[in-house]
Amino acid sequence: MNGPRFNEFIQSPKVRVIDQDGENLGVMYTREAMEQAREVGLDLVEVSPNADPPVAKFLDVGKFKYEAQKKANVARKSQKTQEIKEIKMRPNIDDHDYDTKMKAIHKFIGEGDKVKVTLRFRGRELSHGQLGMVLLKRVQEDTAEIAKIESYPRMEGRQMLMVISPK
Residue 154 lies in a domain: yes
Residue 1 lies in a domain: no
Q: pLDDT tens digits, residue range 105-114? A: 999 999 889 9
Of 123, 157, 114, 151, nearest to 136 by C-alpha is: 151
CATH number at 125 reads 3.30.110.10
The total number of structural domains in the chain stands at: 2
Q: Does one domain contain both 106 and 61?
A: no
Position 33: which residue type?
A: A
Q: Does one domain contain both 111 and 58?
A: no
DSSP symbol at 66 = H
Residue 20 lies in a domain: yes
What distances in angstroms separate CA 56 from CA 15, 50, 81, one per listed residue? 6, 11, 36
Structural domain harbouring 44: 7-77
Residue 156 lies in a domain: yes
Q: Does one domain contain both 58 and 112?
A: no
Is the pLDDT confidence value at 85 over 90? yes
pTM: 0.56
Q: pLDDT tens digits, residue range 119-133? A: 999 999 888 889 899
Lowest mean pLDDT among 1-5, 13-17, 110-114: 1-5
